[in-house]
């Protein structure tokens, strides 16, 4: 879990909200509006996981399932809706991985 926390801290900013849903499942709410896209952030997360897995100190490879949603300043959405969106995206990614 310490390794996972380090990767998440390296990937996301202090303003972002990261929640562990359970097991290897995380929901991330990006709270600052900037030029980063969810796809770019996902790629950065995947790269940080790849780098960590190349260091052969752990008995197994780390795998994280994450859904990322972005806070829109002028949106009428609630935090609960953001979390539900991130959770749905995470499960969609898990289904896509299982099909390939």
Centroid of chain to Cα 100: 20
User: How many domains, the chain?
Assistant: 1
What pTM was estimated for this model as a whole? Answer: 0.67
- pLDDT tens, residue by residue, 88-97: 877 777 777 6
What is the mean pLDDT of the segment spanning 57-77? Answer: 72
Angle of the 38-54 helix axis to the 2-11 helix axis, nearest 10: 140
Range of the domain at 84: 2-99
- pLDDT tens, residue by residue, 29-46: 777 666 567 778 888 888
Rounded Cα distance between 91 and 84, Å, is 11
Residue pair 4/11 in contact by the 8 Å Cβ criterion: no
Rounded Cα distance between 66 and 51, Å, is 17
């Amino acid at each position: 879990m310490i390794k996972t926390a380090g990767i998440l801290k390296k990937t996301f900013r202090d303003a972002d909200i990261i929640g562990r849903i359970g097991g290897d499942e995380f929901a991330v709410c990006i709270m600052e509006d900037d030029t980063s896209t969810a796809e770019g952030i996902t790629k950065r997360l995947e790269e940080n996981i790849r780098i960590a897995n190349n260091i052969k100190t752990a008995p197994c490879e780390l795998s994280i399932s994450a859904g990322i949603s972005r806070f829109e300043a002028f949106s009428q959405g609630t935090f609960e809706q953001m979390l539900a969106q991130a959770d749905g995206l995470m499960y969609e990614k898990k289904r896509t991985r299982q099909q390939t």
